[in-house]
Amino acid sequence: MSRSSGTWGEAQAAAYLRRNGYELLGHSYRCRFGEIDLIARKGKVLCFVEVKLRSNLQYGLPREYVTAAKQERLRKTAAFYLSQYELDCPVRFDVAEVYTDGAHSPASVRIVYLENAF
């Protein structure tokens, strides 16, 4: 999948979050430990969101690609983010599965949002 497709998928997930009452705080946060696709807040909870875009399920569900190793990188990256901004608040790790056709037509977008995915 190309970087532009990934960025498109993240934009779809960000729009979904806004429509559902989340405040978007950041996207594509990078540090030496890894990258977090989206960072959002709902109420007092800070959400670190991994976005997975798929046009078919030939190789399994998108959530299956958030492996134990990926989860560990996300935890380390999130801990760095929290320390960098001196935040002390409840957090959770979510996965946004963005399904679309190969052409990324807006009518074909479907999002499955998994709170507390790991």
**Digit-coded pLDDT (tens) for 8-19:** 999 999 999 999
Answer yes or no: are the C-beta atoms of 114 and 78 closer than 8 Å.
no
Taking the CB of residue 94, how many other CB atoms lie within 10 A of it? 22
Residues 44-62: what's their mean pLDDT? 92
Specify the pLDDT at position 3.
Answer: 62
Longest CA–CA span in the chain (Å) reads: 42
pTM of the complete model: 0.91
> Residues 65-115: pLDDT tens digits?
999 999 999 999 999 999 999 999 999 999 999 998 876 677 789 999 999
Domains along the sequence of the chain with CATH: 3-114 (3.40.1350.10)
